[in-house]
Amino acid sequence: MSAQTDRPRILVTRKLTEAAEQRLATRFDVQFNASDTPMSAEALTQAMRDFDALVPTVSDRITGEMLRTEGRRVRMIANVGVGFSNIDVATAQELGVAVSNTPDVLTDATADIALLLILASTRRAYAAEKTLRDGAWTGFSVVDGLGTSIQGKVLGIIGMGRIGQATAKRAAAGFGMEVVFYNRSDPGALSFPARRLDSIDAVMQAADVVSVHVPGGGAAPLVTAEHIAQMKPSAHLVNTARGDSIDQAALVAALQSGRIAGAGLDVFADEPHVPEALRAMDTVTLLPHVGSATQEVRTAMGLLAADNLEAFFAGRDLPCRVA
Ligand code: DGY
């Protein structure tokens, strides 16, 4: 426990980059989680009573029950992440607890990882690397390990927000892909050619690669088993958004039966649990939720969380308020 000061008491639930931790330490009476392991629900509930603000991240579930804790002192939650499906934002709003996130600074890094997964899946990079690492490579072959080219193929974007647009732009401008997309509302003028389709089904049917960019946290996955069943047998599915945005069990079944050709996944329904069935398939490229994981971006996210906190305690508008 830190010494008593009149600066706001802040709990940072996971380790941040040094620059971000230093900035927070200069402005707040801050407690860091040096072990960098996820805190228990009990510890987070207790923190509601002990701190003025929390700085959680996507691995912390901040429930309505926690927010309703008797004697709650927390008035502000500065999430380190653009996604905030880990927080019961509706309850926070109802109780007048401010919530902020960290958009924009991670858009390019996450789009880069989407492209990495699109390429890895279509070029069968994991299977090829595994052959080599297993010592099973017998030398160059004209016909072994063939993937498919993405030039001229159709990329289907589900969710044309900031990261969806950055992914589509890279795919169109850098790799000659034709872009179709589904977005609930009109995203306005785009800086690359793209065709808006009127349903997820239409995108699933048209796409050679589907890339998912919708927030999770809904009562049910937006991309359902029925949607996955519409995909071409040669198609690949990439998800860098949230694991619960798609029906993971249906995806596993489609991959196992060869109903679709491959997948590239950076996010999972119940992280850090990754189904054994997924880990066993060499048609799937798996990453441990690293979409925004660069030194620069993780620092920018921490600093943006600090900006939000500073604005809140100074009585200014939050740069990125979500509740
Ligand atoms: C986010 O920001 O929501 C990512 O999932 C973690 O960086």
Q: Which of 59, 79, 106 has the most ligand 1 atoms within 8 A of CB, as the residue to mutate?
A: 106
How confident is the model over 183-226, as pLDDT tens digits?
999 999 999 999 999 999 999 999 999 999 999 999 999 999 99
Q: List the one residue out of 242, 194, 202, 252 whose CA is nearest residue 222.
A: 242
pLDDT at 34: 81
Residue nearest atom 4 in ligand 1 by C-alpha distance: 81
Q: What is the pLDDT of residue 6?
A: 87
C-beta of 82 in contact with ligand 1 (< 6 A)? yes
- State the Cα–Cα distance between residues 14 and 7, nearest whole angstrom: 21
- Residue 143 CA, ligand 1 centroid: distance in Å: 39
273 is catalytic: no
Question: Taking every pair of C-alpha atoms in the chain, what is the biggest distance, in angstroms?
Answer: 70
Ligand 1 pocket residue status of 106, Cβ below 6 Å: yes
pTM of the predicted protein model: 0.96
> From the alpha carbon of 102, which atom of ligand 1 is closest?
2
Burial class of 319 by CB neighbour count within 10 A (0 to 12, 13 to 18, 19+): middle
Tell me, using a 6 A CB cutoff, whether residue 292 lines ligand 1.
yes
Compute, in angstroms, the gap from residue 105 CA to the centroid of ligand 1: 11
Domains and CATH numbers, the chain: 3-105+295-313 (3.40.50.720), 107-286 (3.40.50.720)
Nearest CA to ligand 1 atom 6: 81
Q: Which of 9, 213, 236, 289 is catalytic?
A: 289
ipTM rounded to 2 decimals: 0.96
Catalytic site residue 227?
A: no
Nearest CA to 212 out of 243, 187, 253 is that of 243
State if residue 81 touches ligand 1 by the CB under 6 angstroms criterion: yes
Active site includes 162?
no
> Which is the catalytic residue, given 271, 296, 298, 310?
271
Long-range contacts of 42-47 (CB under 8 A, 24+ apart): 44/13, 45/69, 47/11, 47/13, 47/74
Structure tokens belonging to residue 114: 């989407």
CA of 106 to the centre of ligand 1 (A): 8
Amino acid 1: pLDDT: 45
Q: Which atom of ligand 1 is nearest to the CA of 80?
A: 2
- What's the pLDDT tens digit per position in 83-113? 999 999 999 999 999 999 999 999 999 999 9
48 lines ligand 1 (CB under 6 A): no
Supply the pLDDT for residue 4.
59
Q: Which pLDDT score is estimated for 178?
A: 98
Distance CA 56, CA 61 (A): 9
Q: What angle do CA 262, 263, 266 make, to 5 degrees?
A: 160
* Atom of ligand 1 lying closest to residue 267 CA: 5
The pLDDT assigned to 35 comes to 87
Choosing from 242, 276, 298, 316, the catalytic residue is: 242
pLDDT below 70 — which residues of the chain? Answer: 1-4
Q: Which residue type occupies 175?
A: F
The whole-angstrom separation of Cα 43 and Cα 47 is 6
